[in-house]
Amino acid sequence: MKKIATVPAKRRGLVRAVRGFIFNLMFLGLILPLIGCAPKLYHVDMRYEPTKEIPPTVTDGRKYSLTVASFIDRRKMDDTLLIGRVIRSDGTPIPILPQYVKAKDAVTAALRELLFKTGYKVSPDKPAWDLSENAIRPEWGTLLIGGTIDELDVTCVESFTMKRYTAKARLSFSFADVQRKRIFYRVTSESSSSLTHAFLSGQRLENEINAVLSSALEKVIEDGETGRRIREALKP
């Protein structure tokens, strides 16, 4: 009679234990994202991230001292420290906060970075300007730029299968001739984006908010009308 090979009992037990362990790992991998493992809040590092190649300014910007005043945060929200929210599938909101600086400081720094990249000499000063002509001080250089943050936020709404990201920015700018104490140009710029993705991540939140912020800034600085107004203001 032909003998049938059998697996020793100890080995069978080991195989079952390994299979059970693998199954448990797979189960945990599926279930953990659905239960209370989400962070209590998210942080984003807001900064200027070029969305396109911006040509150098047509004026010789290095000859002039351009000062960027600290932006004023006028967003209509209870807490201006917030940058947005993640809305869980059960409706629970999770706040999104800036990682390093407040929104007004992030926007100011981003504009300074963009102006420097386009060829302007940017003063290290960041004065508090209330956007009135009477408040302009002669030590603020040749040109002064200030503004307000009217909208700036990123949101992610979770469903069971997908995550929908939306971001928007609306910034108002005031350009002034410092020595003449005269505002010569006002302009508002907007940008928005939306994205549907299978996963939620802090990096994706950061990418979306930086994209709309940078785009809103670039629209103003690269605009031909802005350049024309600056050239006129710099004429003797």
Q: Is the pLDDT of residue 168 over 70?
A: yes
- Across 72-82, average pLDDT: 92
Whose CA is closest to 195, among 206, 186, 180, 182?
206
Beta bridge partners of 17: none
Res. 231: pLDDT tops 90: no
Name the average pLDDT for the chain.
85
* Percentage of residues of the chain with pLDDT beyond 90: 63
Contact (CB, 8 A) for 208 and 195: yes
Q: What is the pTM of this model?
A: 0.81
Domains along the chain with CATH numbers:
43-234 (3.40.50.10610)
**What is the mean pLDDT of the segment spanning 223-235?**
88
Q: Report pLDDT for 235.
A: 81
Query: CB of 118 within 8 A of CB of 54?
Result: yes
Question: CB within 8 A of 196, min separation 6: which ones?
Answer: 162, 163, 164, 165
Q: State the pLDDT at residue 150.
A: 98
Q: What letter represents residue 191's amino acid?
A: S
The amino acid at 165: Y
Q: Residue 165: left if φ>0, alpha if ψ -120 to 50, beta else—which one?
A: beta
Instruction: Compute, in degrees rounded to 10, the torsion defined by CA atoms 232, 233, 235, 236.
Output: 150
Q: Mind giving me the DSSP string for the chain?
A: -PPPP---HHHHHHHHHHHHHHHHHHHHHHHGGGTTTS-S-EEE------SSPPPPPSS-GGGSEEEEPPPEE---SS-TT--EEEE-TTS-EEEEEESSS-HHHHHHHHHHHHHHHTT-EE-S------S-GGG--GGG-SEEEEEEEEEEEEEEEE-SS-EEEEEEEEEEEEEEETTTTEEEEEEEEEEEEEEEES---HHHHHHHHHHHHHHHHHHHHT-HHHHHHHHHHH--
Q: What is the pLDDT of residue 47?
A: 96
Q: Are 75 and 149 in contact (CB under 8 A)?
A: yes
Cβ-contact 74, 53 below 8 angstroms: no
Q: Answer yes or no: is pLDDT of 143 > 50.
A: yes
Identify whether the C-beta of residue 153 lies closer than 8 Å to the C-beta of residue 140.
Answer: no
Question: What's the confidence (pLDDT) of residue 77?
Answer: 87
Reply yes or no on whether the pLDDT at 23 is more than 50.
no
C-alpha 114/C-alpha 91 separation (Å) is 38
pLDDT recorded at residue 6: 52
